[in-house]
A and B are shown apart, each in its own frame.
Chain A
Amino acid sequence: MLQRLIAAVLGVLGLAAIVLGIASATAWRADDTLTATATAAAGTTLLTTAPGVLEMGDPPVSVRATADDGTKVVLAVGRDTDVDGWVGTDAHTVVTGLQDWHTFTTDDVASTAPAPEVAEGEAAPAEEAAPDGEAAPATPAPDPDGSDLWVEQASGEGSAELVWEPQQGRWTLLVATAGEGAGPPTVELSWPRTVTTPWLVPGVVGGVVLLLLALLLAVRASRGPRAEQWQAVTTGATPVVAADGAGDAADPGASRTRRERREAAAAAAAAAAAARQAARTPRPWTPRTGETAVVDPRPHAGGATAMDPHAGVTPDVPPAGSDADAPTGPTAEVAGTTPAAARPVAATDASASGTAADRRDGAAPAPGPASPADVPATDPDAAASTGDGAHDPDSGADAFDGDPGAGTVTGLDGETGETGDTGLTPAPAAGGSRADAWRRAWGFPGAGSPPREPEPRADGRTDGEDH
């Protein structure tokens, strides 16, 4: 239920993300031009831009100015110092920036003229627009048209336009209405804008991901219970085990994860328990383990452990001999190179077995689980020294470990060396040893079965497999 709920929420979120992402690139997409306007304060005829305003957007900036009643409008671009110089002390309006996307912020500058005759008319300009506007007619508004100061200019009756391509330096715009009765001009600046849609891809991709996630959850939620039943069926693993020898070894082993291995081991244990109880067939609900168990055998000793239980049931099953052989070959070779690994195994075995007698058995079983281990153990015995053969391998192993155990051991070591090594490779032996211990504890014959010792390598391996 919860999963379905989460799936639904995720799905909605995903859809929302996609919709928002697309909307950000369509419905909410910003304009291709940035256009804003400003009007000079009432009573003034001059409007300028602060340095940098002309460069607020991508170049070039298009300027359009209009005036009421078709009076003359002049647009001029000049250095900021020139524009300021031309404006001088006259009252004017300065465009300082953007208030919002379509409106400029402006700054009204009152006339700072000393006090000539005009002063009276313009003295009270800022606040009282009307008087100014009427006072202005007395003296025609100044006309910047044609001044040498401008690098770009345009003029017209009622409106004027120009396009300014920014240059190095500080350039500002002067907008003026000229002539008698000129009113405040209105200017509109527009820049082309490269509109980006930064949210489109993240929105859509994220949304899709969320949707997929939701879908996945939904599917799992609806299939959950079925899956369990399914597993139950699979439990039929047993047959696999039989086949394991060849078939299993071929493929599955590799893909195991540690966890799976662990589970496999657990499964094996469970299986063993089952075996113990008798030859009961596995129950349908043991699914998981069943499956895993199948895989386990090949990769490592664990597999062997898993098999052990079965072995208990069918001790001779080991015909796996072939299996054993296969691994042995390589292991034997490797052994020589990595003796260290071997010891631990041997050690564990030894510890597990405890007494010498045990060892006898233990030694055999120890190797047993790890097919390779067995081989060495047996081999040394057979080849090098008789009688204590079983001990020898162990001791040999110990000696390698660094415990210069008994003199005899040492002697043996030299000989054992190779064999001992061979046994080592299969680290997993641990599982095997555990199984052996178990077996021993319960007096199962599997491990200690005599045939191994007498028989040369082949036997040994067989034994190992038995375990």
Chain B
Amino acid sequence: MRTAQRTRLGRVALALTAGLALTGCAAELPQPQAQAPLAVPPPATTLEQSDRILTAIGDVLASGDAALSTVELSARVSGPALTSRAAEYAVAAATAGAQPVTPLPVQPQTLVVPNATPWPRTQLVVTEQPEDLTSPRLLVLQQQSPREPYTLWGWARLLPGAEMPAIAAPTAGAEVLAPDAAGLVATPADVVAQYADVLLSGDGSAFAASFANPDPYRERIATGRTTSEGIAQGTGTFTETYAAVPDQLVALRTADGGAIVVGGMTTTSTFTLSDASLTATPEIAAVSGGAIPAGAVLRNTLVLGYTDVVVFYVPPAGANAPIEVLGAEHTYTSASGS
């Protein structure tokens, strides 16, 4: 009996040893185990990336500003921003610095980073207050396609008293809204178009009630127009039109379900002279791109084109609140006349 037990024991030991020998050296190959995609897409850029992008843009702007040259700008500046900057350089050069370029700090105060979505991608940056103590800027950065860098697409000064609505934390990413996105008191595209009408018609506009009042930007535009009309008084007429630029629209969801909408606009000021003349100033000559030499005397018309960037806060549908203008930039970028 004992021997039988021992034999069994021996067999077990043999089996164990054999098993050990066979399995000992066969570890399993690791397999890639990707984290599941997040339910909420992550922000398109990390904070480090945003900082890096802003630094790159700041460098380009700095060198461009120093040389008053747009040669290097195109790498990191595009859209309305490039147009405006180019005009500012021209004016600054023509006036020997009497009309300096708009300071654009790139130190971020607030980042509105969209979640990772197909291109183009847009993010908003509220900067620190510039050295001239004017209001902080809101920079619009855009990446048109994956292989292109982020560029400064536009900027706007925040209006006095404007409060940036709460947006998703930079670590989450803000939802990007389509121009016709619903859920707002008006679609982003409509907001800009309606605002153009309000600028033109003032309180007479059908949409005037939709927008907050007072509106510093609107008042400034109205004031400028009144002034120009006064100048034109007796010597001709002055008309000014406002229009939204359809493809210059950015909308990002805010925390309360509303949206920040950044829209490109143009303002066209037309002096029609009758029996009078205007002498083109250096600034006008500068932005005309050579069409109007400095000092030229215009006897018929002078058309000034402005490139505008307006930033709106659009409340969510159902909210009994007006659309606010948070910031705007109004730069004359073209001139023509005869």
Number of interface residues of B (CB under 8 A): 40
State whether B34 touches A88 (Cβ < 8 A): no
Cβ–Cβ contact A6 & B6, under 8 A:
yes
List the A residue with the shortest CB-CB distance to B119.
A85
Q: How far, in angstroms, from A444 to B86 measured CA to CA in the complex? A: 138
Residues from chain B with Cβ under 8 Å of A57 in the complex: 30
Q: Tell me whether A6 and B3 are in contact in the complex, defined as CB-CB below 8 angstroms, given that A16-B21, A85-B146 are known contacts.
A: yes
Q: Is B202 an interface residue (CB 8 A)?
A: no
CB distance from A10 to the nearest CB of B (A): 6
B13 and A10 contacting across the interface, CB-CB below 8 Å = yes
Given A28-B24, A51-B34, A151-B48, residue A206 in contact with residue B16 (CB < 8 A): yes
Which B residues touch A9, using CB under 8 A? 10, 14
Q: Once the chains bind, are A17 and B3 in contact (CB under 8 Å)? A: no
Cα-based distance from A55 to B31 in the complex (angstroms)? 9
Instruction: Determine, out of B37-45, B239-247, B290-298, the stretch whose residues face the partner at the interface.
Output: B37-45
CB < 8 Å neighbour of B21 from A20, A98, A148, A170: A20
> Do B6 and A217 have beta carbons less than 8 Å apart?
yes
Contact A169 B38 (CB under 8 A): yes
* Cβ-closest chain B residue relative to A14: B13
**Which B146-203 residues have a C-beta within 8 angstroms of A?**
146-147, 149-150
Closest residue of chain A to B52 (Cβ to Cβ) is A148
Q: Does B96 contact A (CB under 8 A)?
A: no
Given contacts A51-B32, A52-B32, contact A210 B13 (CB under 8 A): yes
Decide yes or no whether B281 CB sits under 8 A from chain A.
no
Known: A20-B17, A52-B34, A203-B20. Contact between A101 and B29, CB under 8 A?
Answer: yes
CB distance from A78 to the nearest CB of B (A): 9
Does B31 lie within 8 Å of A16, measured CB to CB?
no
Query: Is B222 positioned at the interface, with any CB of A under 8 Å from its CB?
Result: no
Cβ–Cβ contact A86 & B3, under 8 A: no
Shortest CB distance B7–A (Å): 7
* Chain A contacts for B10, CB-based, 8 A: 6, 9-10, 13
Mark each residue of chain B from 77 to 118: 1 if its CB lies under 8 Å from any CB of chain A, else 0. 000000000000000000000000000000000000000101
| CB of B33 closer than 8 Å to a CB of A | yes
In the assembled complex, B66 has its CB within 8 A of some CB on chain A: no
Q: Is A188 an interface residue (CB 8 A)?
A: no
A100 CA / B27 CA spacing, docked (Å): 11
Chain B hits for A14, CB < 8 A: 13
Does A222 sit at the interface, judged by CB under 8 A?
no
Decide if B143 is an interface residue (CB 8 Å cutoff). yes
Q: How far is the CA of A86 from the CA of B25 in the complex (A)?
A: 42
Partner of B31, one of A10, A97, A146, A217: A97
The yes or no answer to A149 lying at the interface (CB within 8 A) is yes
* A400, B291: Cα distance in complex, Å: 137
| Residues A97 and B149 in contact, CB atoms below 8 Å apart | no
* Contact assessment for A169 and B29 in the assembled complex, using a CB-CB cutoff below 8 Å: no
How far is B49's CA from A148's CA once the two chains are assembled, in angstroms?
7
- CA of A20 to CA of B24, assembled, Å: 8
B25-69 contact mask (Cβ, 8 Å, vs A): 1 or 0: 101011111110110011001101100110010000000000000
Chain B neighbourhood of A286, CB < 8 A: none
CB-contacts of B262-287 with A (<8 A): none
Chain B CB within 8 A of A350 CB: no
Interface string of A1-16 (1 = CB under 8 A from B): 0110010011001101
The CA-CA distance from A170 to B118 in the complex, in Å, is 16
CB closest residue in chain B, given A51 = B34
A98–B30 contact, CB under 8 A?
yes
Per the bound structure, the CA–CA distance linking A2 and B4 in Å amounts to: 10
Which chain B residues border A56 with CB–CB below 8 Å? Answer: 30-33
Closest to A96 in B: B32
Check if A79 sits within 8 Å of B35, measured CB to CB: no
The answer to the question of A277 belonging to the interface, with a C-beta cut-off of 8 Å to chain B, is: no
- A86 contact from B16, B17, B45, B146, Cβ within 8 A: B146
A81 at the interface (CB under 8 A from B): yes
A9 → chain B closest CB, angstroms: 6
A285 contacts the other chain (CB 8 A): no
Whether A51 contacts B35 in the complex (CB less than 8 A), given A24-B24, A148-B52, comes out as yes
Minimum Cβ distance to chain A for residue B25 (Å): 5
Contacts of B9 in A (CB 8 A): 213
Identify which of B13, B25, B27, B116 contacts A82 (C-beta below 8 A): B116
Residues on A with beta carbons closer than 8 Å to the beta carbon of B27: 30
Chain B nearest Cβ from A222, distance in angstroms: 15
List A contacts of B14 (CB < 8 A): 9, 13
The reply to whether B146 and A88 form a contact with Cβ atoms under 8 Å apart is yes
Partner of B35, one of A142, A170, A210: A170
Q: Which residue of A lies closest to B43 (CB)?
A: A79
Q: How far is the CA of A6 from the CA of B29 in the complex (A)?
A: 39
Given the complex of chains A and B, what is the CA–CA distance between A146 and B75 in angstroms? 12
Known A-B contacts A81-B116, A86-B146, A148-B49; the reply to A17 vs B20 at CB < 8 A is yes
Interface membership of chain A positions 30-62, coded 1 if the CB is closer than 8 angstroms to chain B and 0 otherwise? 100010000000000000001111011100000
A57 to B119, CA, bound (A): 33
Q: In the bound complex, do residue B20 and residue A199 qualify as a contact, i.e. CB atoms below 8 Å apart?
A: yes
Indicate if A451 sits at the interface (CB-CB under 8 A). no
Q: How far is the CA of A149 from the CA of B147 in the complex (A)?
A: 9
| Beyond A6-B6, A10-B13, A56-B30, 4 extra complex contacts between A and B, CB < 8 Å | A6-B7, A81-B41, A168-B35, A170-B37
**Which A residues form the contact surface with B (CB < 8 A)?**
2-3, 6, 9-10, 13-14, 16-17, 20-21, 24, 28, 30, 34, 50-53, 55-57, 79-82, 85-86, 88, 96-98, 100-101, 142, 144, 146-149, 151, 168-170, 199, 202-203, 206, 210, 213, 217
Residues on B lying within 8 angstroms of A by beta carbon are: 3, 6-7, 9-10, 13-14, 16-17, 20-21, 24-25, 27, 29-35, 37-38, 41-42, 45-46, 48-49, 52-53, 56, 116, 118-119, 143, 146-147, 149-150
A–B Cβ pairs within 8 angstroms, 7 of them: A13-B14, A20-B21, A21-B20, A81-B116, A100-B29, A203-B20, A206-B20
- The 5 closest A-B CB pairs, nearest first, are A52-B34, A51-B34, A52-B32, A85-B146, A86-B146
